[in-house]
Structure 1
Amino acid sequence: MTGKVISVNLAVVTEAAWAGDASGRSGIDKRLAAGRVTVRTDGVVGDFIGERAHHGGPDQAVYAYATEDAQWWAAVLGRAVPPGHLGENLTTTGVDVTGAVIGEQWVIGSALLQVTKPRSPCRTFAGFWGVPDLIKRFTVRATPGAYLRVLREGTVGADDPVEVVHRPAHGVTIGEVFRALTLEPALLPRLLDADDLPESTREKMRRRLRTPTG
Protein backbone atom coordinates (compact mmCIF):
# COMPACT_ATOMS: atom_id res chain seq x y z
CA MET A 1 0.00 0.00 0.00
CA THR A 2 1.18 3.50 -0.81
CA GLY A 3 1.20 5.63 2.32
CA LYS A 4 -0.94 8.74 2.37
CA VAL A 5 -2.49 11.33 4.62
CA ILE A 6 -6.10 10.59 5.57
CA SER A 7 -6.68 13.95 7.19
CA VAL A 8 -4.98 17.09 8.44
CA ASN A 9 -6.23 18.08 11.88
CA LEU A 10 -6.22 21.38 13.78
CA ALA A 11 -6.94 22.00 17.44
CA VAL A 12 -10.23 23.00 18.95
CA VAL A 13 -9.26 24.89 22.11
CA THR A 14 -10.54 22.93 25.11
CA GLU A 15 -10.84 24.30 28.62
CA ALA A 16 -10.72 21.61 31.30
CA ALA A 17 -9.28 20.81 34.71
CA TRP A 18 -6.96 18.27 33.11
CA ALA A 19 -5.60 20.72 30.52
CA GLY A 20 -1.84 21.08 30.69
CA ASP A 21 -1.13 24.80 30.56
CA ALA A 22 -1.56 27.30 33.40
CA SER A 23 -4.69 28.78 31.85
CA GLY A 24 -6.43 25.41 31.78
CA ARG A 25 -6.55 25.24 27.98
CA SER A 26 -5.41 22.42 25.71
CA GLY A 27 -5.08 21.84 21.98
CA ILE A 28 -5.15 18.04 22.18
CA ASP A 29 -8.63 17.83 20.63
CA LYS A 30 -7.92 18.19 16.92
CA ARG A 31 -10.53 18.12 14.16
CA LEU A 32 -10.44 17.77 10.38
CA ALA A 33 -9.26 20.91 8.64
CA ALA A 34 -11.07 22.25 5.62
CA GLY A 35 -8.80 22.36 2.56
CA ARG A 36 -5.04 22.48 2.53
CA VAL A 37 -3.02 23.59 5.54
CA THR A 38 0.35 25.35 5.66
CA VAL A 39 3.14 23.82 7.72
CA ARG A 40 6.00 26.03 8.83
CA THR A 41 9.22 25.43 10.73
CA ASP A 42 7.54 26.56 13.95
CA GLY A 43 4.35 24.55 13.52
CA VAL A 44 1.07 24.09 11.69
CA VAL A 45 -0.75 27.28 10.74
CA GLY A 46 -4.11 27.47 12.52
CA ASP A 47 -3.21 24.94 15.21
CA PHE A 48 -3.26 25.73 18.94
CA ILE A 49 -0.63 24.54 21.42
CA GLY A 50 -1.38 25.02 25.10
CA GLU A 51 1.61 23.78 27.07
CA ARG A 52 4.56 25.09 25.07
CA ALA A 53 7.08 23.93 27.65
CA HIS A 54 6.48 20.37 26.42
CA HIS A 55 4.81 20.74 23.02
CA GLY A 56 5.54 22.58 19.82
CA GLY A 57 8.79 24.12 18.61
CA PRO A 58 10.89 23.23 15.54
CA ASP A 59 11.58 19.63 16.65
CA GLN A 60 7.88 19.02 17.29
CA ALA A 61 6.37 21.17 14.57
CA VAL A 62 4.04 18.44 13.24
CA TYR A 63 2.71 15.28 14.89
CA ALA A 64 1.75 12.20 12.84
CA TYR A 65 -0.18 9.13 13.95
CA ALA A 66 -1.18 6.06 11.96
CA THR A 67 -4.87 5.25 11.62
CA GLU A 68 -3.94 1.56 11.92
CA ASP A 69 -2.71 2.22 15.47
CA ALA A 70 -5.76 4.37 16.25
CA GLN A 71 -7.97 1.47 15.16
CA TRP A 72 -6.20 -0.78 17.68
CA TRP A 73 -7.10 1.67 20.45
CA ALA A 74 -10.68 1.84 19.20
CA ALA A 75 -10.97 -1.95 19.41
CA VAL A 76 -9.43 -2.12 22.89
CA LEU A 77 -11.52 0.72 24.30
CA GLY A 78 -14.69 -0.25 22.48
CA ARG A 79 -15.31 3.23 21.12
CA ALA A 80 -14.52 5.34 18.09
CA VAL A 81 -11.09 6.99 17.85
CA PRO A 82 -11.55 9.44 14.97
CA PRO A 83 -8.73 11.29 13.17
CA GLY A 84 -7.13 13.88 15.44
CA HIS A 85 -8.24 12.13 18.62
CA LEU A 86 -4.64 11.36 19.57
CA GLY A 87 -3.75 15.02 19.14
CA GLU A 88 -2.14 14.39 15.76
CA ASN A 89 -1.92 16.93 12.97
CA LEU A 90 -1.52 14.23 10.31
CA THR A 91 -3.50 11.01 10.35
CA THR A 92 -1.83 8.56 7.98
CA THR A 93 -2.56 5.19 6.46
CA GLY A 94 -0.09 2.75 4.94
CA VAL A 95 2.80 4.41 6.78
CA ASP A 96 4.82 2.49 9.39
CA VAL A 97 5.07 5.44 11.75
CA THR A 98 6.47 3.38 14.64
CA GLY A 99 9.06 1.90 12.29
CA ALA A 100 10.06 5.28 10.83
CA VAL A 101 13.80 5.94 11.18
CA ILE A 102 14.99 9.00 13.09
CA GLY A 103 16.05 11.53 10.44
CA GLU A 104 13.88 9.95 7.75
CA GLN A 105 12.47 12.54 5.35
CA TRP A 106 8.92 12.60 3.99
CA VAL A 107 7.57 14.65 1.11
CA ILE A 108 3.90 15.44 1.71
CA GLY A 109 2.27 17.91 -0.64
CA SER A 110 4.78 20.70 -1.19
CA ALA A 111 6.39 20.26 2.26
CA LEU A 112 9.49 18.30 3.25
CA LEU A 113 9.29 16.85 6.77
CA GLN A 114 11.84 14.99 8.91
CA VAL A 115 11.12 12.39 11.59
CA THR A 116 12.58 13.55 14.94
CA LYS A 117 11.23 11.75 18.02
CA PRO A 118 8.29 9.85 19.53
CA ARG A 119 5.50 11.48 21.48
CA SER A 120 5.46 10.93 25.26
CA PRO A 121 2.07 10.36 26.93
CA CYS A 122 0.91 12.91 29.49
CA ARG A 123 -1.88 13.50 31.98
CA THR A 124 -3.61 15.85 29.53
CA PHE A 125 -3.93 12.95 27.09
CA ALA A 126 -5.33 10.70 29.84
CA GLY A 127 -7.79 13.40 30.90
CA PHE A 128 -8.99 14.02 27.36
CA TRP A 129 -9.72 10.34 26.84
CA GLY A 130 -11.07 9.84 30.36
CA VAL A 131 -8.82 6.79 30.85
CA PRO A 132 -6.93 7.18 34.16
CA ASP A 133 -4.30 4.53 33.39
CA LEU A 134 -3.76 5.63 29.79
CA ILE A 135 -0.15 6.71 30.33
CA LYS A 136 0.76 3.18 31.44
CA ARG A 137 -1.23 1.55 28.66
CA PHE A 138 0.17 3.90 26.01
CA THR A 139 3.71 3.15 27.21
CA VAL A 140 3.23 -0.61 27.10
CA ARG A 141 1.63 -0.48 23.65
CA ALA A 142 4.61 1.55 22.34
CA THR A 143 3.01 2.97 19.19
CA PRO A 144 3.61 6.62 20.09
CA GLY A 145 3.39 8.37 16.75
CA ALA A 146 6.14 10.60 15.38
CA TYR A 147 7.04 14.25 15.70
CA LEU A 148 8.37 15.92 12.57
CA ARG A 149 10.57 18.89 11.71
CA VAL A 150 9.66 21.03 8.72
CA LEU A 151 12.69 21.18 6.42
CA ARG A 152 10.77 22.86 3.63
CA GLU A 153 7.62 24.82 4.35
CA GLY A 154 4.59 24.07 2.23
CA THR A 155 0.98 22.94 2.21
CA VAL A 156 -0.42 19.51 3.06
CA GLY A 157 -3.87 18.05 2.65
CA ALA A 158 -6.00 14.93 2.80
CA ASP A 159 -5.07 12.26 0.22
CA ASP A 160 -1.53 13.59 -0.23
CA PRO A 161 0.92 10.67 -0.68
CA VAL A 162 3.63 10.23 1.93
CA GLU A 163 6.84 9.72 -0.04
CA VAL A 164 9.94 8.64 1.88
CA VAL A 165 12.83 10.35 0.07
CA HIS A 166 15.64 9.69 2.55
CA ARG A 167 16.19 7.06 5.24
CA PRO A 168 19.39 7.14 7.38
CA ALA A 169 21.46 3.97 7.46
CA HIS A 170 21.62 3.78 11.28
CA GLY A 171 18.09 2.33 11.36
CA VAL A 172 17.12 3.65 14.81
CA THR A 173 13.33 3.87 14.79
CA ILE A 174 10.66 5.86 16.56
CA GLY A 175 9.61 2.68 18.36
CA GLU A 176 13.14 1.92 19.58
CA VAL A 177 13.62 5.45 20.93
CA PHE A 178 10.31 5.28 22.77
CA ARG A 179 11.05 1.90 24.32
CA ALA A 180 14.60 2.93 25.25
CA LEU A 181 13.33 5.98 27.13
CA THR A 182 10.53 4.08 28.89
CA LEU A 183 10.62 0.34 29.58
CA GLU A 184 13.77 -0.91 27.81
CA PRO A 185 16.80 1.15 28.94
CA ALA A 186 19.13 -1.53 27.56
CA LEU A 187 18.37 0.02 24.15
CA LEU A 188 19.77 3.43 25.16
CA PRO A 189 23.31 2.92 23.73
CA ARG A 190 21.79 2.23 20.32
CA LEU A 191 20.30 5.72 20.26
CA LEU A 192 23.82 7.22 20.06
CA ASP A 193 23.77 6.42 16.35
CA ALA A 194 20.76 8.65 15.69
CA ASP A 195 22.37 12.04 15.03
CA ASP A 196 19.06 13.65 14.08
CA LEU A 197 17.47 13.14 17.49
CA PRO A 198 16.69 16.52 19.10
CA GLU A 199 19.41 17.67 21.48
CA SER A 200 16.99 17.61 24.42
CA THR A 201 16.33 13.92 23.79
CA ARG A 202 20.03 13.16 23.34
CA GLU A 203 20.81 14.90 26.65
CA LYS A 204 18.12 12.87 28.43
CA MET A 205 19.66 9.75 26.93
CA ARG A 206 23.18 10.75 28.02
CA ARG A 207 22.02 11.44 31.59
CA ARG A 208 20.43 8.02 31.84
CA LEU A 209 23.50 6.31 30.45
CA ARG A 210 25.63 8.06 33.09
CA THR A 211 23.31 7.03 35.92
CA PRO A 212 23.89 3.48 37.21
CA THR A 213 20.77 1.32 37.52
CA GLY A 214 19.92 -1.39 39.99
Structure 2
Amino acid sequence: MNKPKIINFAIGMSKEYQWNEITEYSAINKINVTSMNIRKSGIIGNEVANVEFHGGDDRAVCLYPFEHYRTWEKEFHSSLPIPAFGENITATGMKEKDVHIGDIYQIGDVIIQVTQGRIPCSTISKFNGIDHFLNRVYSTGLTGYFFRVLNEGTITIESEFKLLEKHPKGISVLFANQTLFHDQKNQQAVRKILEVKELADVWRKKLMNLL
Protein backbone atom coordinates (compact mmCIF):
# COMPACT_ATOMS: atom_id res chain seq x y z
CA MET A 1 0.00 0.00 0.00
CA ASN A 2 1.45 3.33 -1.07
CA LYS A 3 1.51 6.38 1.16
CA PRO A 4 -1.71 8.39 0.73
CA LYS A 5 -1.47 11.49 -1.42
CA ILE A 6 -4.17 14.12 -1.90
CA ILE A 7 -5.11 14.79 -5.52
CA ASN A 8 -8.15 17.01 -5.11
CA PHE A 9 -10.56 18.65 -2.66
CA ALA A 10 -14.15 19.51 -3.60
CA ILE A 11 -17.28 20.89 -1.98
CA GLY A 12 -20.73 21.70 -3.35
CA MET A 13 -24.26 22.83 -2.70
CA SER A 14 -27.47 21.10 -3.74
CA LYS A 15 -28.76 21.96 -7.22
CA GLU A 16 -31.80 21.13 -9.30
CA TYR A 17 -31.43 18.69 -12.21
CA GLN A 18 -33.73 17.33 -14.88
CA TRP A 19 -32.91 13.66 -15.29
CA ASN A 20 -35.23 11.50 -17.40
CA GLU A 21 -37.77 14.33 -17.30
CA ILE A 22 -37.87 14.15 -13.50
CA THR A 23 -36.74 17.01 -11.26
CA GLU A 24 -34.19 15.90 -8.69
CA TYR A 25 -31.86 17.65 -6.26
CA SER A 26 -28.27 16.63 -5.78
CA ALA A 27 -24.98 18.02 -4.48
CA ILE A 28 -22.86 15.69 -6.62
CA ASN A 29 -21.63 18.53 -8.87
CA LYS A 30 -18.90 19.93 -6.65
CA ILE A 31 -16.31 22.64 -7.23
CA ASN A 32 -12.61 22.09 -6.66
CA VAL A 33 -11.06 23.98 -3.74
CA THR A 34 -7.61 24.24 -2.20
CA SER A 35 -8.72 24.07 1.44
CA MET A 36 -11.61 22.72 3.52
CA ASN A 37 -12.93 23.63 6.96
CA ILE A 38 -13.94 20.31 8.48
CA ARG A 39 -16.33 19.91 11.39
CA LYS A 40 -17.79 16.81 13.04
CA SER A 41 -21.10 17.54 11.34
CA GLY A 42 -19.46 17.87 7.93
CA ILE A 43 -17.51 20.27 5.74
CA ILE A 44 -18.32 23.97 5.77
CA GLY A 45 -19.86 24.92 2.42
CA ASN A 46 -20.67 21.33 1.51
CA GLU A 47 -24.36 20.45 1.37
CA VAL A 48 -26.08 17.07 1.37
CA ALA A 49 -29.22 16.55 -0.73
CA ASN A 50 -29.93 12.84 -0.21
CA VAL A 51 -29.67 12.18 3.52
CA GLU A 52 -30.40 8.48 3.00
CA PHE A 53 -26.96 7.95 1.49
CA HIS A 54 -24.93 10.96 2.66
CA GLY A 55 -24.36 13.22 5.63
CA GLY A 56 -24.47 12.90 9.40
CA ASP A 57 -21.64 12.46 11.87
CA ASP A 58 -20.72 9.02 10.51
CA ARG A 59 -20.59 10.32 6.92
CA ALA A 60 -19.01 13.73 7.34
CA VAL A 61 -16.32 13.34 4.67
CA CYS A 62 -16.34 11.28 1.47
CA LEU A 63 -13.22 9.96 -0.29
CA TYR A 64 -12.84 8.29 -3.67
CA PRO A 65 -9.60 6.56 -4.75
CA PHE A 66 -7.95 8.34 -7.66
CA GLU A 67 -6.67 5.10 -9.18
CA HIS A 68 -10.21 4.04 -10.10
CA TYR A 69 -10.61 6.94 -12.51
CA ARG A 70 -8.28 5.27 -14.99
CA THR A 71 -10.17 1.99 -14.60
CA TRP A 72 -13.54 3.57 -15.35
CA GLU A 73 -12.25 5.78 -18.17
CA LYS A 74 -10.73 2.74 -19.87
CA GLU A 75 -13.93 0.72 -19.48
CA PHE A 76 -16.32 3.44 -20.61
CA HIS A 77 -14.02 5.08 -23.18
CA SER A 78 -14.88 8.40 -21.59
CA SER A 79 -13.04 11.08 -19.64
CA LEU A 80 -14.29 11.59 -16.09
CA PRO A 81 -13.56 15.01 -14.60
CA ILE A 82 -12.75 14.98 -10.90
CA PRO A 83 -14.87 14.72 -8.75
CA ALA A 84 -17.11 12.53 -10.91
CA PHE A 85 -18.38 10.74 -7.81
CA GLY A 86 -19.11 13.90 -5.84
CA GLU A 87 -16.37 13.03 -3.37
CA ASN A 88 -14.79 15.61 -1.09
CA ILE A 89 -11.32 14.07 -1.24
CA THR A 90 -9.72 12.31 -4.18
CA ALA A 91 -6.50 10.57 -3.17
CA THR A 92 -4.03 7.90 -4.19
CA GLY A 93 -2.95 5.03 -1.96
CA MET A 94 -6.41 4.69 -0.45
CA LYS A 95 -8.12 1.84 -2.30
CA GLU A 96 -11.05 0.06 -0.65
CA LYS A 97 -9.11 -3.21 -0.41
CA ASP A 98 -6.36 -1.52 1.61
CA VAL A 99 -8.45 0.65 3.93
CA HIS A 100 -10.22 -0.82 6.95
CA ILE A 101 -13.35 0.17 8.82
CA GLY A 102 -12.08 1.96 11.92
CA ASP A 103 -8.73 3.05 10.48
CA ILE A 104 -7.70 6.51 11.68
CA TYR A 105 -6.00 9.06 9.42
CA GLN A 106 -4.63 12.55 9.90
CA ILE A 107 -4.68 15.38 7.36
CA GLY A 108 -2.97 18.44 8.78
CA ASP A 109 -4.62 18.96 12.16
CA VAL A 110 -7.77 17.06 11.20
CA ILE A 111 -8.18 13.47 12.38
CA ILE A 112 -10.75 11.26 10.64
CA GLN A 113 -11.89 7.65 10.96
CA VAL A 114 -13.26 5.30 8.30
CA THR A 115 -16.86 4.31 9.10
CA GLN A 116 -18.46 2.62 6.07
CA GLY A 117 -18.33 2.07 2.37
CA ARG A 118 -20.41 4.36 0.22
CA ILE A 119 -23.68 2.85 -0.95
CA PRO A 120 -23.87 3.86 -4.62
CA CYS A 121 -27.05 5.44 -5.96
CA SER A 122 -28.39 6.20 -9.43
CA THR A 123 -27.09 9.78 -9.29
CA ILE A 124 -23.67 8.44 -10.34
CA SER A 125 -25.10 7.20 -13.64
CA LYS A 126 -27.27 10.24 -14.25
CA PHE A 127 -24.62 12.83 -13.48
CA ASN A 128 -21.96 11.17 -15.64
CA GLY A 129 -24.34 10.22 -18.46
CA ILE A 130 -23.38 6.52 -18.33
CA ASP A 131 -26.43 4.33 -17.83
CA HIS A 132 -24.71 1.25 -16.44
CA PHE A 133 -22.20 3.12 -14.25
CA LEU A 134 -24.18 2.43 -11.06
CA ASN A 135 -24.35 -1.30 -11.78
CA ARG A 136 -20.60 -1.49 -12.35
CA VAL A 137 -19.75 0.43 -9.19
CA TYR A 138 -22.16 -1.78 -7.26
CA SER A 139 -20.81 -5.03 -8.72
CA THR A 140 -17.13 -4.16 -8.18
CA GLY A 141 -17.48 -2.56 -4.75
CA LEU A 142 -15.30 0.34 -5.90
CA THR A 143 -17.56 2.82 -4.17
CA GLY A 144 -15.32 5.05 -2.11
CA TYR A 145 -16.15 5.47 1.57
CA PHE A 146 -16.96 7.81 4.44
CA PHE A 147 -15.22 9.16 7.53
CA ARG A 148 -16.34 10.56 10.86
CA VAL A 149 -14.34 13.49 12.22
CA LEU A 150 -12.45 12.94 15.47
CA ASN A 151 -10.59 16.26 15.47
CA GLU A 152 -11.86 19.33 13.61
CA GLY A 153 -9.78 21.83 11.69
CA THR A 154 -8.86 23.32 8.34
CA ILE A 155 -6.84 21.37 5.79
CA THR A 156 -5.18 22.45 2.57
CA ILE A 157 -4.28 20.63 -0.61
CA GLU A 158 -0.65 20.65 0.60
CA SER A 159 -1.50 18.99 3.94
CA GLU A 160 0.19 15.69 4.69
CA PHE A 161 -2.16 12.70 4.60
CA LYS A 162 -1.00 9.92 6.89
CA LEU A 163 -2.24 6.78 8.61
CA LEU A 164 -2.30 7.07 12.40
CA GLU A 165 -3.85 3.78 13.40
CA LYS A 166 -4.77 0.60 11.54
CA HIS A 167 -7.81 -1.11 13.02
CA PRO A 168 -6.94 -4.48 14.61
CA LYS A 169 -10.00 -6.29 13.16
CA GLY A 170 -8.70 -5.77 9.61
CA ILE A 171 -12.11 -5.53 7.92
CA SER A 172 -11.47 -3.79 4.62
CA VAL A 173 -14.02 -1.48 3.04
CA LEU A 174 -14.06 -3.78 0.02
CA PHE A 175 -14.82 -6.85 2.17
CA ALA A 176 -17.66 -4.99 3.87
CA ASN A 177 -19.01 -3.79 0.52
CA GLN A 178 -18.92 -7.24 -1.03
CA THR A 179 -20.65 -8.74 1.99
CA LEU A 180 -23.46 -6.19 2.13
CA PHE A 181 -23.98 -6.02 -1.63
CA HIS A 182 -23.41 -9.62 -2.74
CA ASP A 183 -23.01 -12.03 0.17
CA GLN A 184 -25.75 -11.17 2.63
CA LYS A 185 -26.41 -14.79 3.61
CA ASN A 186 -22.83 -15.21 4.83
CA GLN A 187 -23.53 -14.81 8.52
CA GLN A 188 -19.90 -15.41 9.47
CA ALA A 189 -18.83 -12.44 7.35
CA VAL A 190 -21.68 -10.31 8.66
CA ARG A 191 -20.73 -11.07 12.26
CA LYS A 192 -17.07 -10.24 11.58
CA ILE A 193 -18.02 -6.80 10.31
CA LEU A 194 -20.34 -6.21 13.27
CA GLU A 195 -17.42 -6.84 15.63
CA VAL A 196 -15.99 -3.48 14.53
CA LYS A 197 -17.54 -1.10 17.06
CA GLU A 198 -16.47 1.90 14.96
CA LEU A 199 -18.79 0.84 12.12
CA ALA A 200 -21.34 3.50 11.10
CA ASP A 201 -24.74 3.11 12.78
CA VAL A 202 -26.62 2.90 9.48
CA TRP A 203 -24.48 -0.05 8.36
CA ARG A 204 -24.77 -1.71 11.74
CA LYS A 205 -28.56 -1.62 11.47
CA LYS A 206 -28.49 -3.01 7.92
CA LEU A 207 -26.19 -5.87 8.94
CA MET A 208 -28.11 -6.63 12.13
CA ASN A 209 -31.25 -7.00 10.05
CA LEU A 210 -29.49 -9.66 7.98
CA LEU A 211 -29.02 -11.79 11.10
Superposition TM-score, scaled by structure 1 size:
0.89
In structure 2, give the amino acid aligned to 1:10. I
> How big is the shift at 1:7?
1.1
1:58 aligned partner = 57
Counterpart of 1:63 in 2: which secondary structure?
strand
When residues 41 and 89 of structure 1 are mapped into structure 2, their CA distance, relative to the original with a 3 A threshold, is same
Q: Name the CA distance, whole Å, in 2 between partners of 1:77 and 1:159.
A: 31
Instruction: Give, in whole Å, the separation in 2 of the partners of 1:18 and 1:206.
Output: 34
8 Å contact kept, 1:6–1:159: no
CA distance, structure 2, for counterparts of residue 18 and residue 202 of structure 1: 32
Residue-by-residue CA offset, 1:162-181 (whole Å, 9 max, x unaligned) = 21101111001111111111
1:202 pairs with 177, 201, 204, which one? 204
Contact 1:113 1:148 in 2 (8 A): yes
Q: Distance in 2 between the 1:40 and 1:98 partners?
A: 27
What SS class does the counterpart of residue 56 from structure 1 fall into?
A: coil
1:49 Cα deviation (Å)?
Answer: 1.3
Report what 1:212 is aligned to.
none
SS in 1 for 2:46: coil
In 2, Cα distance between the equivalents of 1:78 and 1:13? 29
Deviation sequence 1:74-112 (CA, Å, 0-9, x none): 111112222211110000012234421111100012100
1:12–1:31: 8 Å Cα contact kept in structure 2? no
Aligned to 1:38: 37
Aligned to 2:133: 134
1:189 aligns with 2:191: yes
Contiguous gaps of at least 5 residues in structure 2: none
Counterpart Cα distance in 2 of 1:205 and 1:141: 19
Larger strand proportion of the pair: 2
* Partner AA of 2:15 in structure 1: T
List alignment gaps of at least 5 residues for structure 1: 210-214
Q: TM-score, normalised by structure 2?
A: 0.90
5 Å matches for 1:1-214?
Answer: 1-11=2-12, 13-18=14-19, 24-33=24-33, 35-185=34-184, 186=186, 187-209=189-211
For the Cα contact (< 8 Å) 1:8–1:32, is it kept in 2? yes
Return the alpha-carbon distance in structure 1 between the equivalents of residues 7 and 84 of structure 2. 13
Task: Please give the secondary structure, in 1, of the residue aligned with 2:176.
Answer: helix
Output the CA distance in 2 between the equivalents of 1:134 and 1:26.
17
Q: Give the drift of 1:158.
A: 1.6
Counterpart residue identity of residue 158, structure 1: I
Return the letter of the residue paired with 1:9: A
Output the amino acid matched with 1:111: V
40 and 18 in structure 1: CA distance in 2 versus 1, 3 angstrom threshold: farther
Whichever residue aligns with residue 8 of structure 1, its letter is: F
Aligned mates of 2:45, 2:139 — CA distance in 1: 32
Q: CA deviation at 1:136?
A: 1.6
> RMSD of aligned C-alpha atoms?
1.9
The structural deviation recorded for 1:12 is 5.3
- Tell me by how many angstroms 1:67 deviates: 0.6
Deviation at 1:23, TM superposition (A): 7.1
The secondary structure found in structure 2 opposite 1:84 is coil
